[in-house]
Amino acid sequence: MESLADFTGGGLFNSNSSKHCRKTVKYTKLMSSHDEGLYDESLEKVALMDDDSDDNYNTSDIESENVFTVEEAVESIGFGFFQIRLYIICGLFTAADALEMMLLAVLSPVLRCEWQLDHFRVAFLTTVVFIGMCIMAPVWGLMGDKYGRQTTLYMVTTWIGYFGLLTTFSPSFMWVLILRGLVGAGLAGSPQSFALLTEFLPSKSRAKMLQIGGITWAMGTLFEISIASLVIPTLGWRWLVAFSAMPSFLICVLIKLLPESARYLVAAGEKDRALHILQKAAKINKSSLPKGRLTVAHSASRGNVSDLLSPEYRRTSLQMWLMWFATAFSYYGMVLASAEILQIHNSGEESRNADSCKCNLLKSDDYITMLVSTFGEFLALPLNLLLIDRIGRRYTGAVNSCGMAIFFLLLQLQMPQSLLTIIMFMVRGFSQGLFNFVYIYTAED
Q: What is the CB neighbour count within 10 angstroms for residue 272?
A: 14
For residue 29, what are the β-bridge partners?
Answer: 41
Crossing angle of the two packed helices 364-374 and 376-388, in degrees rounded to 10: 10
Is the pLDDT assigned to residue 124 strictly greater than 80?
yes
Closest listed residue to residue 397, CA positions, set 327, 319, 322: 327
Closest listed residue to residue 83, CA positions, set 194, 190, 197: 197
The pLDDT value recorded for residue 316 is 87
- How far apart are alpha carbons 127 and 290 in whole angstroms? 49
Task: Parse the chain into domains and list their residue ranges.
Answer: 4-65, 68-303, 309-445
N-to-C CA span, the chain = 35
**Do residues 278 and 264 make contact, with C-beta atoms less than 8 angstroms apart?**
no
DSSP letter at 172?
S
Q: What is the pLDDT of residues 145-189, one digit of tens each?
A: 889 999 999 999 999 999 999 999 999 999 999 999 999 999 999
Claim: this prediction has a pTM higher than 0.95: no
- How far apart are alpha carbons 263 and 297 in whole angstroms? 9
Sequence-distant contacts of 181-185: CB under 8 A, at least 24 apart:
181/128, 181/129, 181/131, 181/132, 182/132, 183/100, 183/129, 183/132, 184/128, 184/129, 184/130, 184/131, 184/132, 184/133, 184/136, 185/132, 185/133, 185/135, 185/136, 185/159
Q: What is the pLDDT of residues 289-325, one digit of tens each?
A: 988 888 876 654 556 777 788 888 888 889 899 999 9
Q: What is the pLDDT of residues 315-344, one digit of tens each?
A: 888 989 999 999 999 888 888 888 777 767
**Do residues 195 and 144 make contact, with C-beta atoms less than 8 angstroms apart?**
yes
Closest listed residue to residue 380, CA positions, set 435, 420, 327: 435
3-state SS record for 207-235: HHHHHHHHHHHHHHHHHHHHHHHHHCCCC
pLDDT band for 28, please (50, 70, 90 cuts).
very low
DSSP letter at 60?
G
- How far apart are alpha carbons 321 and 101 in whole angstroms? 21
- The stretch 25-50 carries a mean pLDDT of 37
- How far apart are alpha carbons 112 and 127 in whole angstroms? 15
Sequence-distant (6+) residues with CB within 8 A of 282 are: 73, 76, 77, 288, 289
| CATH number of the 68-303 domain | 1.20.1250.20
DSSP letter at 59?
G
**Do residues 183 and 223 make contact, with C-beta atoms less than 8 angstroms apart?**
no
